[in-house]
Structure 1
């Protein structure tokens, strides 16, 4: 730090700061910049007075206007709900199976169901509803619990094998690794593969083991039982994979997929709407 002085070359007073022999000139800030700074300060003070601004322990200052983007969105949603109140009530009361594609109520339900699906179902079933290993494809016509719109609505509302809804659909396949030895499991897998693959080699021992251990749920021909959630094993559609390794793991360890009961967080109208949407994707019966 040195004393301030007037620089001989520029005629500007120095600040007294020196770095490695370089002195800092005390040039004033541009007038336009200062006025912009002062205007921003005034605007900031006004904003903090009028609008929510300062965080507190359990919230924020509300401001004179008490405005919030959350409140604005909530108001828009309320206005939208009020506008569609009649359609929503009609959708809840309607016989979904009686609605046709040309019905305005059906169009409303499908449009609403599309949004519900993207927000609540696409994370597991995919944005296009084609599913993934362990998550059913909703575009085909293979349904564990029935594919009519009422059955779909029941599944959406109560879910599958969860512990939070007493009306959840429930089935449980035993782990045959605790019942059959590896050779027997291999025979069962070979028989199951032969049910849908024409080039698979039939296994006589596996057919007997299947009849004794699997037919009670899947049927003698492996066509499944929707009342029990037992899949059709003869249609070449596999939830966890139909190759030998996947089938062996399924038979040995069993599967226990869980779907949450969406009816606990969706409205009745949302459940009906997403059921109509899924039913209309192409695989609904």
Structure 2
């Protein structure tokens, strides 16, 4: 097959043509080729001294040595704080500014890796997963309370887990449809929410006192010991609408938090 050449320049073409335009097959400039060859040779020499292959050290072994030294120094610097934490109570850690800053820094990484997928990156929570930024605690908000909740979980498979369970008042037939609607209206009113039927909410108060107050309190103040949430603070785990509350009374949802005592040190 004969080589096609451009009529004006006499240079070979690549054989490609588009809309009457043909591509010339000019060779690359010499200087460009020399630079390319130099970079290839340079990269090979660099690879001998600083290996790009995992597990294969180069002649210098420089970067791996630096990383190992940095890790060793970091562990040495942290060791003293870890020893102090082992011997300190939660309150001691809170009162010691240096330890408090240390655990906050490390705790932020632990939270992001293990807790944020459910509670949110900033701890704001989502429906079904409580917010951790509002000072409303199902099981108590002291350091010891929070430690126990994290360590043993909620409804987890650990023997010492936190456990609470709300009766399914509708599903199991303890209350009829009208009674559930009345008490839901009353619960909405406890936190200052707007209700459409004040008479129903008034009837719901009696239903509440007979069936709900033993756990949630006469005034909806809740019970940290039993894990019963407050109902008078406008903070809702499964939604704040009338229908959400009816659903929770009828057939309640119960979340699960794993025990972290065997997962985290």
The TM-score normalised by the length of structure 1 is 0.73
CA contact (8 A) 2:154 2:256 kept: yes
- Partner in structure 2 of residue 162 of structure 1: 156
Moved more, 223-232 or 114-123: 114-123
Report 1:59-78 matches (<5 A): 62-65=55-58, 76-78=70-72
CA 1:170–1:189 in 2, change beyond 3 Å: closer, same or farther?
A: same
CA 1:195–1:3 in 2, change beyond 3 Å: closer, same or farther?
A: closer
CA 1:206–1:138 in 2, change beyond 3 Å: closer, same or farther?
A: same
CA 1:170–1:28 in 2, change beyond 3 Å: closer, same or farther?
A: same
CA 1:174–1:68 in 2, change beyond 3 Å: closer, same or farther?
A: farther
- Partner in structure 1 of residue 206 of structure 2: 208
- Partner in structure 1 of residue 119 of structure 2: 125
Cα deviation for residue 3 of structure 1 reads 4.7
CA 1:19–1:219 in 2, change beyond 3 Å: closer, same or farther?
A: closer
Structure 2: tracts of 5 or more residues without a match? none
Cα deviation for residue 97 of structure 1 reads 2.1
- Partner in structure 2 of residue 2 of structure 1: 2
Indicate yes or no: 2:29 matched with 1:30: yes
- Partner in structure 1 of residue 232 of structure 2: 234
- Partner in structure 1 of residue 177 of structure 2: 182
CA contact (8 A) 1:97 1:149 kept: yes
Let me know the Cα RMSD of the aligned residues. Answer: 3.5
Distance 2:62 2:163 in 1: 45
Higher relative contact order (CA 8 A, sep 6+): 1
CA contact (8 A) 1:52 1:68 kept: no
Cα deviation for residue 171 of structure 1 reads 1.4
CA 1:10–1:231 in 2, change beyond 3 Å: closer, same or farther?
A: same
Listed one character per residue, the Cα deviations across residues 1-25 of structure 1 (whole Å, up to 9, x for unaligned) are 30588x775465x37x545698875
Cα deviation for residue 244 of structure 1 reads 0.9
Cα deviation for residue 172 of structure 1 reads 1.6
- Partner in structure 2 of residue 173 of structure 1: 166
Cα deviation for residue 235 of structure 1 reads 2.6
The TM-score normalised by the length of structure 2 is 0.78
CA 1:122–1:51 in 2, change beyond 3 Å: closer, same or farther?
A: same
- Partner in structure 2 of residue 247 of structure 1: 245
CA 1:175–1:72 in 2, change beyond 3 Å: closer, same or farther?
A: farther
Structure 1: tracts of 5 or more residues without a match? 54-60, 268-285
Cα deviation for residue 102 of structure 1 reads 5.5
